[in-house]
Chain A
Amino acid sequence: MESIIQGRVFKFGDNVNSDIIIPGRYLIYIDRERLSQHAFEVLGEGFPAKLRNFDILVAGRNFGCGSAREQAATAIQGLGIKAVVASSFSRTFYRNAINDGLPIVECPALYAAVAEGDEIRIDLAAGAIVFGGREYPFPKMPESVRQILELGGLANYLKAQLEAHPQS
């Protein structure tokens, strides 16, 4: 995982639920590509294709609320989205994003400042977003959690652990 993530922003409102991110009928898939073909499709024509032109999702409060489906994070990654910045996350999406290797940042101050198409720069190691000549700090993740993210998710983390300490 890169510490610096830079790109164009697509903006959502509050309470984007995981049924909108990926409807239940597609949970028969677990791979990024197939899931991403249906990501946000309930929002109507243009989705999800439109989102492939952006790099970072910015959302309001409670992003990813509702179902604990891990594929919400997987589908977003499949769209080529490199990070999600929200004013707050639902706790299930927060965990699933980390476990899926999708960088997420809680930064309520950024929300009102950016518009669709703006280019922002996230420095995960420094804990700050740079936009419009201003810095928007955000709390860094606990070290143990950051390790999971850095390895690209919990499956990779588990694999590394098992290689270091094989089950007898």
Chain B
Amino acid sequence: MTIAEKILSAKSGKASVTPGEIVEAYPDLVMSHTATWRSASVMKRVGATKLYDPERLAIVLDHVSPAKTEKYAADQQISRNFAREYGVRKFYDVDAGIAHLVLMEAGHVAPGDLIVGTDSHCTIYGSLGALGTGIGYTEVTSVWITGKLWMKVPESIRITLQGGFGAGVYSKDLMLHLIGKLGADGCTYNSVEFYGDTVAELSVSERMTIANLAMEMGVKCAFLPPDGKTAEYLKGRLPDWSRYHEVHADPDARYERRIEVDLAQLEPMVACPHEVQNTKPIGEVVGTHIDQAFLGSCANAKYEDLVVAAGILKGRRVDPGVRLIITPGSKQIMLEAMNSGVLQILLESGGMVTNPGCGACAGDGGMLADGEVCLSTANRNFLGRMGSNQSQIYLSSPATLAASAIRGAIADPREFLTH
């Protein structure tokens, strides 16, 4: 069996499952973010008074946090009260950061877990070998009450990474390349597993970017098989080490497709408006004017991402025509960046730092006016997502973003690595 088949069979109490089969699965964790109030309102509407298991709930108020209008404030109040009333201990308020990053940092995600949540980028949990996938808020309520949901066992795809990344090329570039090549629906309903010697060398942070962006080719879930790096990341985070069980695919596991990528051939990549699949090698977009640069989101606002950007921005100035907005992924990341001096470099270069959270990616601050162009390290560049439907969003790695913020136009980060 593949990793997805093993996890779904374990969570549905079956010895084995096959692709296409529908199972009733019991998730280990149900994440809800700013949408929590909606799930709470459904709970009231259907007349439920009890949770299946409050220990399986995690709530993180990350989108539009802290509240920017009275309506948001009232909604967050409902979420807070719900957590208190039902004894949800994994509750993180508006100061914590982006749900996905907060939950992994806090040790609530272990290899082999099944995690569902009110966010499509739940696929990111695959960076630690867990099956994560997004569902709507009513379905979250249903899992809160019943503990389970129906799931179709996906066909699996095996992607093998050959060779190593060149200088200035990162996991984000790999994923933009793959999304461009396979398309926005290239892996719809599929589970994708990443293999190759390079994977073993990738940091957990880079793995998070891969599993996160995999959503943009339509996956149900994505896996970077757990290994020593996974264990190292989770040591001191998992409350109980008996929770650590690596789930691996069998040698004879069946894959619908096998794809190979030669990393040495990759260049920095950029996704152009208004679809993530609209990707181009950096050379084809160099010189495109930008008004705003957003270093944020669950895709690329981790500590390592801030370090990469700071490495390029150190001793340099952001172009006066560019607003560089930096939104650290979590409070932990912000603290680390503060203690190491990374925040100071980012601020001194001309950037501004906001509180941790989803920020501009979810349309909270950093909105775009008619005709404006934003380069972003996020995972979506959809029409109107960051403001005016006459604005444009390009996506890149943190390195390309930093280089472009200095130039005032999309720039090749490799030019900044040599001097």
A-to-B contact residues, CB < 8 Å: 14-15, 17, 19-20, 23-25, 27-28, 30, 41-44, 61-62, 65-70, 73, 88, 90-92, 95-96, 99-100, 142, 144-145, 153-155, 158-159, 162-163, 167-168
Contact = CB atoms under 8 A, between A and B. Distances in A.
A66 B136 contact: no
Given A24-B385, A95-B139, A159-B47, A15 B184 contact: yes
B220 interface: yes
B218 A155 contact: no
Contacts of B304: none
Interface in B354-383: 362-363, 380, 382-383
Contacts of A99: 136, 138-139
26 contacts: A17-B275, A19-B380, A19-B385, A20-B384, A28-B75, A42-B384, A44-B389, A90-B185, A90-B218, A91-B188, A91-B220, A92-B135, A99-B138, A142-B22, A144-B22, A154-B142, A155-B45, A155-B141, A158-B42, A158-B46, A158-B142, A158-B146, A167-B48, A167-B49, A167-B50, A167-B145
Contact of A19 (B50, B142, B384): B384
Interface residues of B, number: 47
Given A25-B363, A90-B185, A91-B218, A70 B137 contact: yes
Question: Most A CB atoms within 10 A — which of B50, B69, B135?
Answer: B135
A75 to B, nearest CB: 13
B85 to A, nearest CB: 15
Contacts of B63: 24
Contacts of B75: 28
B382 A19 contact: yes
A66 B120 contact: yes
Interface in B6-50: 22, 35, 38, 41-42, 45-50
Nearest to B386: A24
Contacts, number: 123
B134 A68 contact: yes
A154 B136 CA distance: 11
B142 A28 contact: no
Given A96-B136, A159-B45, A62 B380 contact: no
A42 B50 contact: no
A92 to B, nearest CB: 5
B189 interface: yes
Given A15-B275, A24-B363, A62-B188, A30 B38 contact: yes
B45 to A, nearest CB: 6
Contacts of B185: 14-15, 61-62, 65, 88, 90
Interface string B244-275: 00000000000000000000000000000001
A162 B75 CA distance: 26
A100 B138 contact: yes
Interface in B127-182: 133-139, 141-142, 145-146, 150
B60 to A, nearest CB: 15
Given A99-B138, A154-B138, A163 B383 contact: no
A65 B383 contact: no
Contacts of B419: none
Which of A24, A41, A167 lies at the interface centre, i.e. has the most chain B CB atoms within 10 A of its CB? A24
B72 A155 contact: no
B135 A19 contact: no
Contact of A158 (B38, B48, B150, B389): B48
